[in-house]
Every structure is written in structure tokens, then in C-alpha cells.
Chains A and B, each alone.
Chain A
Amino acid sequence: MSDMAAQPSAPAELPSAKTDWLPLLLIPALGLLALPFVGSPSTWVTLTVAGLAMGMMIFLMASGLTLVFGLMDIINFGHGVFISLGAYATLLVLGPLAGWATADSIGLNLALLALCILVAMGVTALAGAVFERVIVRPVYGSHLKQILVTMGGLIVTEQLIHALWGASPIPIPLPQSLRGAFVLGDIVMERYRVVAVIIGLVVFVGMQLLLNRTRIGLLIRAGVENPEMVEALGYRIRRLFVSVFIAGSALAGLGGVMWAFYRQTLTAGMGMEVMVLVFIVIIIGGLGSVGGCFVGSILVALVANYVGFIEPKLALISNILVMALVLIWRPQGLFPVARR
């Protein structure tokens, strides 16, 4: 189980962790495998870019959840409501600044998107702090109660969204210059998806840098491995937990904004709908692993796109099939977290 711990530790210099390449190779292998089935290369590129964009959005929504689980051993079934909340928070910006969305200027449009993201992250961070304090804190340590209580939190918050913004779906327009697609020869790439890929990559790289190159990242990783030890060394692990929870909620808010502009409709249940994918992704990735979550998101989204093109009926259950196959191959997920 814990093959990491079994390795003898070299005293002089830290042993570099062996990178597990196999799951990473899955993505290009999958792409190549799909190419002959799809047929035309231009369609393949279109499908792949669309799949990557979808994968990035799922990653944005899932990363917070997997981090919270990895560090705090808390499974938050209410995570989906932060996605919805982030999506609805865009209304706070889109309401007063509706002109920016229709303006024919890339600068203003992107500024609007950035502002939406900032506000949404602020709102969900705040909501996350409250959620942690009121809903989650009393049930640290018991998975069963966590699932129940966070489900309860989900129900209540969803209903509050209904009470605040009304129960009917709200259409939101995509900013003017993000509509349409880039066309390169036969290849068609929707602009918004390209933006989503870029934002997803930035967040992923940022998270990797934060986790692997900074002091706080070191503490977080140490906390995942052994919280008692970190506490014994004099760090306030509780404060670290809470900030990770808040950061995770804010990431869900970011994902919610991206998801909302992608769907262009707001419903309170939208977060819960996408949570199914999110759970599949974090199970595939190995609960608690950010890298696994990234690979899992892209894997699931690509498979869904390819299968949807090749055999549409099968696409309905392709996610489940991917999950089943991965779990048969590696029961703990692609990148198992060493602890437990």
C-alpha cells in the first residue's frame, strides 16, 4: 500500500519522488487511438480541443474538492453548490456592467470575464468559510456524517439560491468577442473553449507551483501525509485546513463561472449536475491528488468527445466505463495518495 514510506530515505539529499509516467501517457495514447476511428484529422483536432476545454473546466471544478479531501479527509458533497453559487455571482457583475458584454472590444470583454471570476471567487470563498464553520467543522473525522451533513448544506444552499434569485433558469450572454470560433483551414475551435483551456492551464500550473515550490505548499503536502506531525512541529494545521477549504471553494466558484458561460444558462442545480463528472474525475485521479485530478478530467472529457462522435449512444455511459476500467487497472485511482 504505502510503497512511498517503504523506501529508505537518503539522509544527505532528499530522494526525488519517482514520476509515474504511465497515466500521463494515457492521454496521447487515447488521442492516437481515436484518430483512425474519427477519420479526418481536422475533425479530430476540433474534437480534441473541445475535449481539452471541457476537461479544463471539469478540472477547475474538481481541483478544490480533491485538495480538500487530500488534506482534510473531508468529502464535501456540497461542493457542487459552490459551483452554482459562483455561476450566480456573475449576475452581480453582469447586471451593472451589461454594456461591457455587448461592447465590441476584446479588452472590455476579457476584463468583464476577469471581473466575474474575481467576484465569484470572492463570494464562494466567503460562502466556503461559512460552510466550513457551520456545516463541516462539527463532523471532522466521520465520513458518514460528512456526506449527510454536506448533502443537507447542499439542499439548503440550493434553496437559498432559489429564494434569492428565483427558481427559473436565467440566461446569461457570452461576451461579444468570445463568441464564434477560430477557423484554421478545416479546423474549427470555439473561442471560448480556447479561453477555457488557457485559464485551466494557468490554474493548474499555478497550483503545481504553489504546492511544489512554496513554503505553504510544502506544509499542505506535509499535512496530507501526516497532519499530526505537522502540528507537532508547531504549525497550526487547523488554520491551514480552513484556508485550503476556502481556496477550494473559490476554485469551485471559478469553475462555476467558466461552466456558466459555457452553458449560457443558470440553474441552481447546475453544480450538482456536474458534480457527477467531478466525482468520477477525482476517483479516477486518486482521491486527493491534484495531478491525478488533472489527468482524469482530460481523460474523461476526451473519451466523452471521441465516443460521442464515433458512437453517440455509447457516450451516455462512457464516463462510467472509463471509471470502471481505470479502477480495475488501479483500484486506488491513477495517482494513489500514499496515506491510507
Chain B
Amino acid sequence: MSTSPALSLAFDETRRRGGLLTGLLSSDLPRSRALSFILLAIFVLLAATPFLFSGSQPVGTAAKICVFIVLVASYDLLLGYSGIVSFAHTMFYGIGGYGIAIALERISPTWGSVAIGLVSALALSALLAVAIGLLSLRVRAIFFSMITLAVASAAAVLASQLSDITGGEDGLSFQLPPALRPAFRVLSEPVFGTMINGRLLAYYLVFVVSLVVFLLLLRIVNSPFGRVLQAIRENEFRAEALGYRVVAYRTAASVISALAATAAGALMALWLRYNGPDTTLSFSIMIDILLMVVIGGMGTMYGAVIGAAVFVLAQSYLQVLMGAGSAALAGIPLLPNLIHPDRWLLWLGALFIISVYAFPGGIVGRLRQSKS
């Protein structure tokens, strides 16, 4: 478990110098002025969205960004830190969503059922992650990708077929506990023009839980455990030779990542008051997550923040831009089709390929490089 003396010295040094903030960020600072600025801006904007913007769309976008930051960060724990590609991340996300949805719909809209739903979803996710990990990681890491793909698609089919439990293709709409409903008023007077109601509380619940889970993940990747994961990523054989059980570490990483994804799914369901196959289980969300991790930057948790923010914003606003461009090019063959608003994935896909080749560190890697 010993890191090299020089490294651990530097590690302790930063820890001693830094105060509360360094502690919170687990001594893993952004290490680039531009990056720090962007992260701070994202943080402040997300924290203040309900007071800065009116209407429900910006708050919805902000909540989605919060949830996706957790989802993408937990995926980065697998992809960026452990070097294994899973396609079952949306399955765990979906399990979280369905856990909350089923508990609140079938039992009662209370905090008790939120707890029941969340705990049983987490338990199921952990169990599945262990089973998949032991079945596939034991042999070869490349099996893991294919097996997770197969299991995830089976889960998606199951969710849409077992309509007695999951509501099938229609999904489940449900009531939230009273404190999170829009009709719930904390203060009778609005603050800065914003009503302090249950919806606002729901947003801050999503925000705070996302923040806590994100910081927790940051802590995990900067722990000795996280260092071992990175060692395995760099050289599996060598890590095994040093005495680390590669299978055990990788399985543990996939369990942690599954648990965080489940939490993200639960948050998403709580925010939307609905869960269905398209919101949490579909394969297109899996592709979105991949794009976010790679474009943001693999192997840095901050990449998840930037990737999620950029992607969700692009999803919401890039299409408008492309629609305008497409209309402007009407009449030319094929070209309008290529920048049709529905083709936005084409361009993000191209950006994705270029990122993998040219900027393996993604946006974060780029920013950190340009600093020095």
C-alpha cells in the first residue's frame, strides 16, 4: 500500500496547506486557473438557478445537469480510473429510478417509501454489479463490455415487458412526499421574486445530494483504493504481480459506480415525478454518458462536471442553432440533412472520435495543458 515517499510527501504538503476547500476536494484541485473558474461558475449557476432564471425549463435543465454530473462521474470511475467499459450503467440508473417510482407509487408517497425504494434499489444494484463483475472480469476485461451490453438490454426488455410492476412502456407517474410538492409553501412571501415551495426544495435536494455524492466519488478516486485502480488501468499484470487482486478491485469499482448511478437514477425520478424506460433505461442515454465522459475528460472527476454541463446545454440549445443553419441551407442537396436539428448526435459523435484520438484528456486535459 506504500506510495513513493516523494509523492506522499507532496500529498501531505498540499493537504496541510489547503484548508477546508482542499479537504472537501480531497486534495485533487482543478490545477488550472481557467478550469477553476469554469467549475466555480458551474457551481454558482447551479446553486442559484432557481433565483436567477424564471420559468421551469432552466431549473429542469439545471436539475438534469446535477443528476448527470453524478451519473457521468460514477461512470468515469469505471472508464477513466479503472479502464473498463461498461454498457450497463443505464441499467443501474434505471434501477434507482424504478426503485423510487415503484415504492412511491405502490406503497405511499412518504419519506419512508423513498427510503425503502432507495435501499432496495441500492441492494439490487450492488448484487447485480457483483454478479456481472465476477462472471466477466474473472476472465478478461473485454468480456465485461459485451456482457454488460447484453445484461443491460435484457434489463431494458424486462422493464418494458413486466408492465404489472414497472408500468411497461408508459412508465410510472407518482406523487412525491408532501414536502416536495409544489403546493407546499415554506414561506408565504417570495424571496427575490421566487416562491420558496416544495419544487424549490426538491431542486435543492437534487443539488445537495448530487454535490455530496460527487465529493464522495472524488474522495474515493483519491484514496489509496483509487490509486490501485489507476495502477491496474496502467498495467494490469504489474498490479497483480504486486499483490493486488485485480478482479476484486475492479469488481469493487464497478459496485461503487453502480451504487452512485442508482442514487442518480433515484434523484432523477424524484425530480421528474415519473420514471419510464426512455428516461432512464434506454441505450441512447448510455451513449450520451459515453460522450459526456470522453468530451469532458476521462480520468478526472471534473471532466464529468464539464462534460455533463456542456452536453446537457448542447442537447437543449444546440438543436435550435442547427435548426436555423439547416433552414438557411434549404435547397442544397444533403447539406440541410446533415445539419438538421435531429442530426446533432452526428456532430457530437464526430467530436467524440476526435477527442479519443487527439485529446484523450478531453476538455479538462486541454485546459490543464494550456496552463503550463
Residues of A in contact with B (beta carbons under 8 Å apart):
75, 77, 135, 138-139, 143-145, 147-149, 151-153, 155-156, 159-160, 162-164, 167, 272, 275-276, 279-280, 282-283, 287, 313, 316-317, 319-320, 323-324, 327-328, 331-332, 340
Given contacts A153-B353, A163-B338, A279-B149, contact A319 B343 (CB under 8 A): no
Q: Does B143 contact A (CB under 8 A)?
A: yes
Given contacts A159-B349, A163-B343, contact A327 B338 (CB under 8 A): no
Q: What secondary structure prevails in chain B residues at the interface with A?
A: helix
B290 to chain A, nearest CB (A): 6
Closest 9 CB pairs of A and B: A155-B349, A159-B346, A152-B353, A279-B146, A156-B349, A163-B337, A152-B352, A276-B153, A147-B85
A43 to chain B, nearest CB (A): 24
Closest to B138 in A: A331
State A138–B356 Cα separation when bound (angstroms): 10
Task: Find out whether the CB atom of A319 lies under 8 angstroms from the CB atom of B150.
Answer: yes
Task: Find out whether the CB atom of A143 lies under 8 angstroms from the CB atom of B142.
Answer: yes
Given contacts A147-B145, A152-B349, A152-B352, contact A320 B150 (CB under 8 A): yes
Q: Does B283 contact A (CB under 8 A)?
A: yes
Q: Does B287 contact A (CB under 8 A)?
A: yes
Given contacts A155-B287, A276-B149, A316-B154, contact A324 B135 (CB under 8 A): yes
Closest to B136 in A: A327
A31 to chain B, nearest CB (A): 24
Task: Find out whether the CB atom of A320 lies under 8 angstroms from the CB atom of B287.
Answer: no
Q: Does B345 contact A (CB under 8 A)?
A: yes
Task: Find out whether the CB atom of B150 lies under 8 angstroms from the CB atom of A323.
Answer: yes
Count of A-B residue pairs with CB < 8 Å: 100
B304-340 interface code vs A (CB 8 A; 1 in, 0 out) = 0000000000000000000000000000001001101
Q: What secondary structure prevails in chain A residues at the interface with B?
A: helix
Q: For B139, what are the chain A residues with a Cβ–Cβ distance below 8 Å?
A: 327, 331-332
Q: For B147, what are the chain A residues with a Cβ–Cβ distance below 8 Å?
A: 279, 283, 323
Given contacts A149-B357, A316-B154, A319-B154, contact A159 B290 (CB under 8 A): no
User: Which one of B150, B161, B356, B357 lies within 8 Å of A316 (CB-CB)?
Assistant: B161
State A70–B85 Cα separation when bound (angstroms): 20
B348 to chain A, nearest CB (A): 8
Q: For B151, what are the chain A residues with a Cβ–Cβ distance below 8 Å?
A: 320
Given contacts A148-B85, A155-B349, A156-B346, contact A280 B150 (CB under 8 A): yes
State A320–B155 Cα separation when bound (angstroms): 10
State A85–B334 Cα separation when bound (angstroms): 18
State A70–B16 Cα separation when bound (angstroms): 52
A179 to chain B, nearest CB (A): 28
Q: For B149, what are the chain A residues with a Cβ–Cβ distance below 8 Å?
A: 275-276, 279
Task: Find out whether the CB atom of B356 lies under 8 angstroms from the CB atom of A149.
Answer: yes
B127-157 interface code vs A (CB 8 A; 1 in, 0 out) = 0000000011011111101110111011001
User: Which one of A148, A163, A317 lies within 8 Å of B356 (CB-CB)?
Assistant: A148
Closest to B352 in A: A152
Pick 7 A–B contacts, CB within 8 A, sort by A: A135-B353, A144-B85, A155-B291, A155-B348, A283-B146, A313-B161, A320-B150
